Amino acid sequence: DAGITQSPRHKVTETGTPVTLRCHQTENHRYMYWYRQDPGHGLRLIHYSYGVKDTDKGEVSDGYSVSRSKTEDFLLTLESATSSQTSVYFCAIREQGNTEAFFGQGTRLTVV
């Protein structure tokens, strides 16, 4: 298994609170991605990173921010959580020059 760890694995939070999800890799891969998975939508890209401090928006970036201060860590922050952000969040990594993308185990976030 690719060395990807997402934390926390489960979280329940209240509307309006800030939330940070962490993706940690031990593979030293250049590219890291955050996706959300909702029924009927497959996975949708939130943000991605192509290097330390290099990030860009994906398809559904509104309400989310990211940071990558080290190669191994990619953080996803919900500044003020809303019920529409209840979802399963997956982190993925890919090595430069490699076609394969590997996914973490996911974080189930519930905003009440």
Partner 1 sequence: ELKVEQNPLFLSMQEGKNYTIYCNYSTTSDRLYWYRQDPGKSLESLFVLLSNGAVKQEGRLMASLDTKARLSTLHITAAVHDLSATYFCAVALISSGSARQLTFGSGTQLTVLP
Under rule CB under 8 A, residue 68 binds partner 1? no
Q: Measured from the CB atom, is 13 or 61 closer to partner 1? A: 61
Sign of CA dihedral 76, 56, 102, 88: positive
CB atoms closer than 10 angstroms to residue 30:
17
The residue from 22, 27, 43, 75 that contacts partner 1 (CB under 8 A) is 43
Under rule CB under 8 A, residue 58 binds partner 1? yes
End-to-end CA distance of the chain: 33
The residue from 8, 18, 26, 59 that contacts partner 1 (CB under 8 A) is 59
Under rule CB under 8 A, residue 79 binds partner 1? no
Under rule CB under 8 A, residue 103 binds partner 1? yes
Q: Hey, what amino acid is at 106?
A: G
The residue from 8, 26, 69, 101 that contacts partner 1 (CB under 8 A) is 101
Q: What is the C-alpha separation between 70 and 84, in angstroms, rounded?
A: 30
Q: What is the C-alpha separation between 42 and 77, in angstroms, rounded?
A: 21
Widest Cα–Cα separation across the chain? 41
The residue from 29, 104, 109, 111 that contacts partner 1 (CB under 8 A) is 104
- Rule CB under 8 A: which residues touch partner 1? 31, 33, 35, 40-45, 48-51, 54, 56, 58-59, 90, 92, 94, 96, 99-106
